[in-house]
Amino acid sequence: MLRRIEIVLGWAKSLWRAFWPRRPSSPRPAPNQPYVPRPRIRVAHWRGTGSAPPGHWNACHPSTEHIFKAELTCPRGHRLTLKGHSISEAGEVQPSVVCRHPGCDFHEFVVLDNWAQRRAVLPAMPH
């Protein structure tokens, strides 16, 4: 009788193992890894007048900065506003910047060079 219980238990155990195979001791990376951002590219600050040349950004006027934040020209010369982005004090833009121009594949994580000093280059506001 006892022997029969042992056999049944052994069978149950092997059945259990068949359904729940032992996990490997070291966790393997999940197949669906979260998107790993590429290193940020630095975008130079355009201090001249008019539109920024390709690969540069320029600050919006302080009165519209809270809406448009900054403008950026993608390396192919398309104008983008960072309206939907947040920009840290270090100039890191979140999320990544995607050029919406048809046929343009510009999609990068960017850092705006000189972002913290953007006000210094703007003409002084009248008080």
**Closer by beta carbon to Zn ion, 47 or else 104:** 104
| Residues found near Zn ion in the complex (CB under 5 A) | 74, 76, 78, 99, 101, 104, 106
**Sequence-ordered list of residues with C-beta below 8 angstroms from that of 111, at least 6 positions apart, any chain:** 40, 41, 42, 43, 90, 91, 92, 93
**Closer by beta carbon to Zn ion, 44 or else 122:** 44
**Residue 115 near residue 104 (C-beta atoms within 8 A):** no
Q: How far is the CB of 30 from Zn ion (least distance, A)?
A: 33
Q: How far is the CB of 52 from Zn ion (least distance, A)?
A: 13
**Closer by beta carbon to Zn ion, 80 or else 87:** 80
User: Where do we find the tokens 């960072």?
Assistant: 82
Q: How far is the CB of 117 from Zn ion (least distance, A)?
A: 26
